[in-house]
Copies of this chain bind each other. A is one copy, B any other.
């Protein structure tokens, strides 16, 4: 086995999965704790629906793809049952956060809660055969499609009349979600949705000339010279590129794979911190100060998604530049994010690569990017 494939497989199975199994399961009220200190101790018990869905997805995915380990299915069920019982309002929209017992704290303003719940129900349903989960996956997916053009609904504070912006996140996530739910959906709907997403991502949000991916565009697809319109999130664009590579593989579309690889390398070169190493979180396309005070921080998910994109790009195109960059990002990540003493990865580093928050999980970091990234790198490089 390729040496990198072995490193990522071993870290996944011997470090990351056991870390979450040991520290995150709430056997009393169900669901998962995600606010975990450096050593895994729970420091807050609120339950964020993104992370409940993501962890349930991760364990069901491991069950489906790695090994039929009944403990993994059971761990997934812990989150699935909690989401079924507490996750939704009367209309089937997913709350953003709940307290430990499942009482809702924050309204369903964030459609990505629904996206990650749908992914979880789909993987768990396929793993267990539970019909209720399969039905919930489909109904939640349909609800997302209905809400997609006004995802925040009544909670939106934006007045769209004078600067009608549209965001990159939703078509990007839908392109992945659609593949996740493929066995449960109508074939034509799948093809149409994937085609629409690829078009949005690669022909609208991707600027073909600069090979940059924008986070926000005007509704007609043109650039907006505003804070939102100038915003670049290199890790986000790179993550989307490996979703595109998965679609390229499915379609055997070499041109799409090559373009996604070129965009990955371009965003990485643009986003790489030439002084301290690592990939910046946010940049302004014109070089102005971004609004995000955390712009120069180094985030775990950005680096994992980049490793996945580079591994897949190398596997699909054989471009040696992908392996050079993979080695560079690998070195940086394992030096700064990994915690050999207590396991798992830190989430947030400052620009210099020093630990900014000594946590392994919080409001946004759960059991998702680290295990998914490690699984994807392992599989992409296994036969290289």
Q: How far is the CA of A336 from the CA of B82 in the complex (A)?
A: 50
Q: A291–B362 contact, CB under 8 A?
A: yes
Write the A285-321 contact mask toward B (1 if CB under 8 angstroms, else 0).
0101111011111000000000000000000000000
Q: How far is the CA of A37 from the CA of B289 in the complex (A)?
A: 8
Copies in the complex: 2
Q: B291–A294 contact, CB under 8 A?
A: no
Q: Which of A144-163 contact B (CB under 8 A)?
A: 154-155, 157-159, 161-163
Q: B161–A103 contact, CB under 8 A?
A: yes
* Cβ contacts under 8 Å, A43 to chain B: 286, 288-289
* Cβ contacts under 8 Å, A348 to chain B: 293
**A325 contacts chain B at the CB level, 8 A cutoff:** no
Write the A215-251 contact mask toward B (1 if CB under 8 angstroms, else 0).
0000000000011000000000000000000000000
Q: B363–A227 contact, CB under 8 A?
A: yes
Q: How far is the CA of A227 from the CA of B99 in the complex (A)?
A: 12
Q: How far is the CA of A273 from the CA of B359 in the complex (A)?
A: 20
Q: Which of A252-310 contact B (CB under 8 A)?
A: 286, 288-291, 293-297
**A9 contacts chain B at the CB level, 8 A cutoff:** no
* Cβ contacts under 8 Å, A109 to chain B: 157
**Which of B159, B297, B359, B362 touches A105 (beta carbons < 8 Å)?**
B159
Q: A293–B289 contact, CB under 8 A?
A: no
Closest beta carbon of chain B to A292's beta carbon, Å: 9
In the complex, the chain B residue whose C-beta lies closest to that of A355 is B289
* Cβ contacts under 8 Å, A159 to chain B: 95, 104-107
Q: How far is the CA of A95 from the CA of B162 in the complex (A)?
A: 14
Q: Which of A85-111 contact B (CB under 8 A)?
A: 95-96, 99, 103-107, 109
**Which of B44, B46, B96, B289 touches A357 (beta carbons < 8 Å)?**
B289
Q: A289–B358 contact, CB under 8 A?
A: yes
Q: Report the count of interface residues on A (CB-CB < 8 A).
A: 43
Q: B288–A44 contact, CB under 8 A?
A: yes
- Residue among A103, A162, A358 with the most chain B CB within 10 A? A162
In the complex, the chain B residue whose C-beta lies closest to that of A109 is B157
In the complex, the chain B residue whose C-beta lies closest to that of A154 is B154
**Which of B99, B154, B351, B362 touches A289 (beta carbons < 8 Å)?**
B362
In the complex, the chain B residue whose C-beta lies closest to that of A99 is B162
Closest beta carbon of chain B to A280's beta carbon, Å: 12
**A350 contacts chain B at the CB level, 8 A cutoff:** yes
* Cβ contacts under 8 Å, A37 to chain B: 288-289
**A71 contacts chain B at the CB level, 8 A cutoff:** no
Q: How far is the CA of A297 from the CA of B289 in the complex (A)?
A: 16
Q: Which of A26-69 contact B (CB under 8 A)?
A: 35, 37, 43-44, 46
* Cβ contacts under 8 Å, A362 to chain B: 289, 291
Q: State whether A157 and B289 are in contact (beta carbons under 8 Å apart), knowing that A226-B46, A350-B351 are contacts in the complex.
A: no
Q: Which of A136-181 contact B (CB under 8 A)?
A: 154-155, 157-159, 161-163
Contact residues of A with B, CB < 8 Å? 35, 37, 43-44, 46, 95-96, 99, 103-107, 109, 154-155, 157-159, 161-163, 226-227, 286, 288-291, 293-297, 348, 350-351, 356-359, 362-363
- 14 additional contacts (CB under 8 A) given A46-B227, A103-B163, A350-B351: A43-B289, A44-B226, A44-B227, A99-B162, A103-B162, A105-B158, A105-B163, A107-B157, A154-B154, A155-B157, A291-B363, A293-B293, A293-B356, A294-B294
Cβ-closest 9 pairs across A and B: A103-B162, A293-B294, A289-B357, A43-B288, A289-B359, A107-B157, A109-B157, A104-B159, A106-B157
